[in-house]
Amino acid sequence: MQNKVVVITGSSSGIGLALAKEFAQRGSKLVLAARSVDKLKEIETEFNNKGVEAISVATDVSKEEDCKNLINQAINKFKRIDILINNAGISMRALFKDVDLSVLKQLMDVNFWGTVYCTKYALPYLLETKGSVTGISSIAGFIGLPARTGYSASKYAMHGFLETLRVENLKTGLHVLIAAPGFTASNIRKTALSTDGSAQGETPRNEEKMMSAEEVAKHVANAIQKRKSTLILTFVEGKLTVWLKKWMPRLLEKLTYNHMAKEPDSPLK
């Protein structure tokens, strides 16, 4: 990863920030993207002070022009792109019968279209370097999670897009990775949208028992380096869930419902 140019969306916190730190340790050059301009600038300064080449670009991935500008800024600074990590994302927690449809649209705009926009403008440069496109997905991209219709739909859409991109580029040298971390200790549940689109505020889960963002970042960086096609982390909530989806789908539906219903203040109760 030495001197590789890595573009990371949603890099002001959580898995995105952990990925930035992981690639910095491996000698990469960083292009940091997020909406939190002040936070990004602080992170950029911190990296630069440590001798890491990094730039920050204020980016709302739901806006095509922002994504185009992000890639242009990366090329203006570093003249190449080796890795694009589509990490920016938002979640939700509300039953479909109660949720405002604008919430689902917002999730699709960020989680799906953000990935499409950034990949579209980065693709010519990634083809030149035979680089990597990564989508930070979720187990919700493999199974439908109750009270997360918009989240699951956006992740399923991301999977379909990235899998097709991989097949289209079987002979070009482009690497495409779909990474599903499972439940990770981050702020995504605090910013998850409720029925009316307002932030949930408090996480309904015990974050201390989850895999850390730093551990996820290490696994993702290794998977990119080894050019894996899929990365599913955790056993019970990850690998076992995907296996059950294939072989015992009805059982999995019951287990998933019961598991999600145990959350504090679950809308399934």
> Any idea which residues carry the catalytic annotation?
151
Kindly state the greatest CA–CA separation across the chain.
Answer: 54
Q: Which residue matches tokens 């994504």?
A: 67
The torsion angles phi and psi of 89, rounded to 5 degrees, stand at -165, 155
Q: Say how far apart CA 255 and CA 44 lie, in whole Å.
A: 43
Q: Which of 200, 190, 13 is nearest to 88 (CA)?
A: 13
The torsion angles phi and psi of 200, rounded to 5 degrees, stand at -60, -40
Q: With contact defined as beta carbons under 8 Å apart, do 158 and 134 qualify?
A: no
Per residue in 59-93, is it b (16+ CB within 10 Å) or e — as a string? bbbbeeebbbbbbebbbeebebbbbbbbbbbbbbb
